[in-house]
Chains A and B, each alone.
Chain A
Amino acid sequence: MTGSHSPLEQPTPPRPAVSVKGREDGLHVTVTDAAAADIEAELRRQLRRRAATFFAGAPVVLQMPAGRLDLALAARLATVIEAAGMEVTAVLPTQPGRGSRQRDRATPAAAPAASASAGGEAVVVSGTVRSGQRVAHPGSIVILGDVNPGGVVSSGGSVIVWGRLRGFVEAGQAEGAPDAVVCALDLAPTQLRIGDALARAPEDAERTPEPEVAREANGTIVVEAWR
């Protein structure tokens, strides 16, 4: 008696609030409508449908709509993903309104995640790193929140801050993590260390916050737009 439901009674939404895609670097979970009420249930359903056991232990890139990150939502989705036996290794912005080809080209922002695996497992920190607090991890660190002045983040690999970075960050402290990067939606650290290179924020306070990525090149720290 499988035909008791007519197709009309189970309409498929044209565009689900969240989609799951397998890629060579792991599973990409993309949130297209952060306001959808049933987003967690939808994610759970999709993970089940994709035979999630196949991806058990796989790194997951969680792509949230660009702009202000809904921390609570990201944390809830990470919980769902972890409950399915997978781990969120990176949280990245999607570029709404762009074509999918361009979005794919925008994924080099996933480069941090890739180099993250070089330094071991990444850890996701939800919330603000406040003055006097220190987050340290041998692998890469993803922070869903701000790093306030006086806060310290110390990582063997890369540091990705979905928020304002105004504290002290050291990245690439592990052996063999030469391509470690530090990126933030607003990169304004008091001091920044990548490998052995040290930099501090420029004195001119007048700047427009924009996502930036810092990396080490020939012993100095180079900062460029993160896109």
Chain B
Amino acid sequence: MAARVITLTSGKGGVGKTTATANIGVSLARMGRRVIVLDADIGLRNLDVVMGLENRVVYNLVHVIRGTTEADRALIRDKRMPGLMLLAADQHSEKDEISEDEMREVGEALRAHADYVLIDSPAGIEQGFRNAMAPADEVVLITTPEVSAVRDADRVIGLTEAAGKPTPRLILNRIKPRLVARGDMMDMDDVVDILQIEILGIVPEDERIVAATNRGEPVALQMGSPAAAAFDNIAARLEDSSVPLIALDGAEPGLLARLALRFRHGN
């Protein structure tokens, strides 16, 4: 079976795209799927660092595009998690040195090697973003509950649809249930009201993410963290959209459950 190619994007930077890509990859692999995570942020390098695979990178995306090596040989297999593979970005090239067609070819070449190809898009809406979107069958949009991030997300939905891709599904990242309950954080209703797209998952703010990311160890590798549970839930919902959104541990009782219920009813 050929892989589903899913691009994770956000418009705004710093909302947690790379961390989410790594963690959803881990969660899918734990479910027994073969997953390639692809860092499309050429010129910068993040995903290999976040995943702790930095010193194993020999070949990268640009090598595959230039035909220096086969796709299969450029894939770094994560020893902690069988089935999880990384194709790293090239720090020494520029985003506009490769084209959308070349990215489509890479996407096609990778399909045979996995069940999922998760593409970590660079921030912004320029060439790098267009490259990351080109091979996508599906798009997942990540935002934090901040006005500026939501505004950019709205822009990206428009661009995604204009590119002929299906409407993205949404991950709300870094929710702080206590702030929301106090009314100090952008209301979830505001986010959903503006974007009007299906919610794929809600990830609570979790200090363990920061610690784990700095150790190069996706938090989804640890059990028992609320964020890890959220990424597992997102992976399950990618497999089967009828899986309900979970109410998260550590959330104000009732709040996220209530949200989950609302979203499940498609409101």
Among B154, B157, B159, chain A packs the most CB atoms within 10 A around the CB of B154
A131 to B160, CA, bound (A): 12
Instruction: Map CB proximity to B onto A141-157 as digits: 1 under 8 Å, 0 otherwise.
Output: 00000101110000000
Cβ of A11 within 8 Å of any chain B Cβ, yes or no, is no
A98 to B42, CA, bound (A): 62
Cβ of A7 within 8 Å of any chain B Cβ, yes or no, is no
How many residues of A are counted as interface, with CB atoms below 8 angstroms from the partner's CB atoms?
10
Cβ of A128 within 8 Å of any chain B Cβ, yes or no, is yes
**Quick one: given A148-B154, A150-B151, A150-B154, are A132 and B194 in contact (CB under 8 Å)?**
no
Let me know if A131 and B155 touch, CB within 8 A: yes
A150 to B159, CA, bound (A): 14
Cβ of B196 within 8 Å of any chain A Cβ, yes or no, is yes
Let me know if A150 and B155 touch, CB within 8 A: yes
Among B157, B159, B194, chain A packs the most CB atoms within 10 A around the CB of B194
Q: Which residue of A lies closest to B158 (CB)?
A: A130
Q: Which residue of B lies closest to A132 (CB)?
A: B155
Instruction: Map CB proximity to A onto B143-166 as digits: 1 under 8 Å, 0 otherwise.
Output: 000000001101101110000000
Q: By DSSP majority rule, is chain A's interface helix, strand, loop, or mixed?
A: loop
Q: Which residues of A contact B158 (CB under 8 A)?
A: 130-133
How many residues of B are counted as interface, with CB atoms below 8 angstroms from the partner's CB atoms?
10
Let me know if A146 and B159 touch, CB within 8 A: no
Among B155, B157, B158, chain A packs the most CB atoms within 10 A around the CB of B158
Q: How far is the CB of A203 from chain B (nearest CB, A)?
A: 16
Q: Which residues of A contact B193 (CB under 8 A)?
A: 164
Q: Which residues of B contact A146 (CB under 8 A)?
A: 194, 196
Q: Which residue of A lies closest to B194 (CB)?
A: A148
Q: How far is the CB of B266 from chain A (nearest CB, A)?
A: 13
Q: Which residues of A contact B159 (CB under 8 A)?
A: 132
Instruction: Map CB proximity to A onto B112-156 as digits: 1 under 8 Å, 0 otherwise.
Output: 000000000000000000000000000000000000000110110
Q: Which residues of B contact A149 (CB under 8 A)?
A: 151, 154, 194
Let me know if B196 and A131 touch, CB within 8 A: no
Q: How far is the CB of B8 from chain A (nearest CB, A)?
A: 19
Q: Which residues of B contact A148 (CB under 8 A)?
A: 154, 194
Q: How far is the CB of B159 from chain A (nearest CB, A)?
A: 7
CB under 8 Å from chain B, chain A span 10-50:
none
Q: How far is the CB of B154 from chain A (nearest CB, A)?
A: 4
Can you list 26 A-B contacts with CB-CB less than 8 angstroms, sorted by A residue number? A128-B196, A130-B154, A130-B155, A130-B157, A130-B158, A131-B151, A131-B152, A131-B154, A131-B155, A131-B158, A132-B154, A132-B155, A132-B158, A132-B159, A133-B158, A146-B194, A146-B196, A148-B154, A148-B194, A149-B151, A149-B154, A149-B194, A150-B151, A150-B154, A150-B155, A164-B193
Query: Given A131-B158, A146-B194, list of 20 further CB < 8 A pairs?
Result: A128-B196, A130-B154, A130-B155, A130-B157, A131-B151, A131-B152, A131-B154, A131-B155, A132-B155, A132-B158, A132-B159, A133-B158, A148-B154, A148-B194, A149-B154, A149-B194, A150-B151, A150-B154, A150-B155, A164-B193
